[in-house]
Amino acid sequence: MLDATTYPGNTIPQPATDAARQARTRRIVEAAEALGFDLVRVTSAAPFPAAREAIQERIAQGFFAGMDWFTAERATVAADPHALLPQARAVIALGTFYLTDAPRDLTITGDPHGQVSCYAWGDDYHTVIRRRLDALAEEIRKIAADEAGAAADLAATRLFVDTGRMVDRAVAQRAGLGWYGKNTNLLTRQWGSWLFLAEIVTALDLAPDPPIAASCGHCTACLTACPTGALVAPGVLDATRCISYLTIEHRGAIPLELRPLIGNLIFGCDICQQVCPVNLVVERRLRARGALGPGSAGERQRAMFAPRTPASASPALIPLLALSEDEFRERFRNSPIKRAKRRGLVRNVCIALGNLGDPVAVPALAAALRHDEALVRGHAAWALGRIGGDAARAALRAALADEPAPEVRGEMRYALAQSDDA
């Protein structure tokens, strides 16, 4: 039985009884689980004013400087499901666990290696999850058709995963998937924070789940572990200091004072999640159950997030310095790493080599002083300055003589001064 509920500009049939609403919600949850989503809950389509205010406050504080697409206007839309779908009645919050077993046949030779954040070891999650969202939206259309025949309004959906204008964590928190960790990530009892979040805004009236009563308590492990001090207060991230931002989103030179703190991280950062006791307990429990191990159902379901090769998790750095645009495109096709672009990734590789300090990298870094990207030349100079030694200094002096870009000449002079000091 359906009755008619009127919204501004829309007349949408909805189930008359709570039992009918529960039944359709159950159908959707089961369909989502069958498609591979690990957590599925529902919240209402009411706005998320606290999320909007938090985002606008962080932008005003300058904590998102450099992410020009992340604007106050975007937050206003992202925090209001009705701005995204006028006939919205509910939001389905979806979590996908992505941790896979550490690479088993990782062969690290003596050459310097970098580290890639584990969310980027395998296929691009945007593509993987988008496919699952499309399939779930199709199920929703069938459910709407079963219940309302030709009522097109009921079948309307908007799908989001990360890049869309939607406050992913606020939806997940209100739907009770988990709670806000002090490192700002959404933490769940079942999967820790190793979850990609996604949502479907739907015109269907669904039974909302309550938020859960859980918090980090007195723990502050992530705040003290962050190497750059990016977590300026519990739940508050200054993205301009965050290694994830610097190595993935930031397009220019990395501030000098932050470079030594990046270590050998060349794409993303997992430190504030790796030290989290909730994650450690979750991982121990999953390993004890064999849920991450070879041949487990979990491993098969998440196979696309596992390292494509051992080098995906911990690549040898020196060969990356000479990557051409074509090689970059080929190697990182359908990988989250393509977001950094070749110049960003090679910039990060220079910093990692400088921090590792192994003189074996000097000839390749000296060659990178002639790289076609000024950004790379400047960071190669910095790395040589940090490694030091006669060969590094000679390469810097030779390159300085005919370097066309003033900012790179500045880096070279700074590097020479640093290596003299050393």
C-alpha span between 338 and 144 (Å, rounded): 38
- Does 162 qualify as catalytic in the annotation? yes
Torsion of CA 17, 22, 28, 31, to 10 degrees: -130
C-alpha span between 175 and 206 (Å, rounded): 12
Q: Which is nearer to ligand SF4, 5 or 220 (CB)?
A: 220
C-alpha span between 283 and 157 (Å, rounded): 34
Considering CB distances under 5 to 8 angstroms, the limit depending on partner class, which of ligand SF4, ligand B12, none binds residue 271?
A: ligand SF4
# residues contacting ligand SF4 (CB under 6 A): 24
- By the rule CB under 6 A, 352 interacts with ligand SF4: no
Contact set for ligand SF4, span 198-227 (CB under 6 A)? 216, 219-222, 226
- By the rule CB under 6 A, 184 interacts with ligand B12: yes
Q: Are 212 and 30 in contact (CB under 8 A)?
A: no
Choosing from 101, 123, 153, 162, the catalytic residue is 162
Helix (H) / strand (E) containing 202: strand 195-202
Neighbours of 152 (CB within 10 A): 12
Query: Please, what sign has the CA dihedral across residues 406, 411, 415, 421?
Result: positive
Minimum gap (Å) between residue 189 Cβ and ligand SF4: 12
- By the rule CB under 6 A, 100 interacts with ligand B12: no
- By the rule CB under 6 A, 91 interacts with ligand B12: no
Neighbours of 396 (CB within 10 A): 24
- By the rule CB under 6 A, 55 interacts with ligand B12: yes
C-alpha span between 222 and 231 (Å, rounded): 8
Binding mask 193-232 for ligand B12 (x = CB under 6 A): x-xxx-----------------------------------
- Which window, 2-10, 22-30, 52-60, 399-407, contacts ligand B12 (CB under 6 A)? 52-60
Neighbours of 87 (CB within 10 A): 20
Q: What are phi and psi of 313, to 5 degrees?
A: -90, -35
- By the rule CB under 6 A, 266 interacts with ligand B12: no
Q: Are 35 and 136 in contact (CB under 8 A)?
A: yes
- By the rule CB under 6 A, 54 interacts with ligand B12: yes
Contact set for ligand SF4, span 161-190 (CB under 6 A)? 181-183, 187
Indicate which single residue of 119, 121, 305, 382 sits in contact with ligand B12 (rule: CB under 6 A): 119
Q: Are 340 and 373 in contact (CB under 8 A)?
A: no
Q: How big is the CA angle at 116 (ends 304 and 353), to the nearest 5 degrees?
A: 150
Binding mask 262-291 for ligand SF4 (x = CB under 6 A): -------x-xx--xxxx-------------
C-alpha span between 6 and 38 (Å, rounded): 34
Residues tagged active-site: 162
Q: Which residues bind ligand B12 (CB under 6 A)?
A: 50-51, 54-55, 58, 70, 117, 119, 161-162, 166-170, 180, 182-186, 193, 195-197, 234-235, 237, 239, 242, 244-245, 249, 268-270, 272
Q: Which residues bind ligand SF4 (CB under 6 A)?
A: 181-183, 187, 216, 219-222, 226, 228, 230-231, 237, 242-244, 269, 271-272, 275-278
